[in-house]
Amino acid sequence: MLKKFLPDEHVESILDIQPEMLKKKGIKGLITDLDNTLVAWNEAHMTPRLARWFDSLRNADISVMIVSNNNERRVKTFSAPAKIPYICRARKPLAHGFKRAIREMNLNKDEIVVVGDQIVTDVLGGNQFGLHTILVVPVASNDAWFTKINRTVERIILSQMRRRGWLKWEE
């Protein structure tokens, strides 16, 4: 059960994920969370560095889709200027958002990576579908009130993983 929360990889920032690295693994699509993965949960717009990163993925023919539990206004405000497709109110880790993203990307599961900052939503959701998962360090150190509950559960799970020697990174 605990292994379902274990990401395949861990990186400091989503910007550390480079198209060349993804291509070598046969990845053709990237599903990413929004809040505290791309920008702080209370930040509305994309940074120039992030825009360049998205452009680098497009130039490498890697499809991108934002899958967020947040509302449409929040996700659209962020995604629309860069023309990034999105799924809002995904209810991760439940299946709906992931199934829809896989279908809309028209890729095989082994060609998709899921990137997010939470193991109880992003990693668990991706792992349940057999997708490659990458956990990133949250962009901001504070969270929306409902995410604080997830972080408490996450600390307990990570503590168990650490005791078993499963984690290959330091927090």
Q: Which of 3, 137, 4, 115 is nearest to 57 (CA)?
A: 115
Q: What is the pLDDT of residue 161?
A: 83
d(CA 69, CA 8): 22
What angle is formed at CA 133 by the lines to CA 148 and CA 171, rounded to 5 degrees? 50
Q: Is this structure's pTM higher than 0.95?
A: no
Q: What is the pLDDT of residue 159?
A: 85
Is it the case that residue 144 has pLDDT exceeding 80? no
For residues 132-145, give the mean pLDDT.
82
Structure confidence at residue 146 as a pLDDT band (50, 70, 90): low
d(CA 88, CA 73): 9
Structure confidence at residue 145 as a pLDDT band (50, 70, 90): low
For residues 122-131, give the mean pLDDT.
95
Q: What is the DSSP letter of 123?
A: I
Q: Which domains does the chain have, with CATH numbers?
A: 2-163 (3.40.50.1000)
Q: What is the pLDDT of residues 63-102, one digit of tens each?
A: 999 999 999 999 999 999 889 999 999 999 998 999 999 9
Q: What is the pLDDT of residues 3-60, one digit of tens each?
A: 899 999 999 999 999 999 999 999 999 999 999 999 987 888 899 999 999 999 999 9
Structure confidence at residue 164 as a pLDDT band (50, 70, 90): confident
d(CA 6, CA 68): 20
- Spatial strand order of the sheet with 63-67 comes to 9-11, 132-136, 112-116, 29-32, 63-67, 86-87
Locate tokens 């809002």: which residue?
Answer: 88
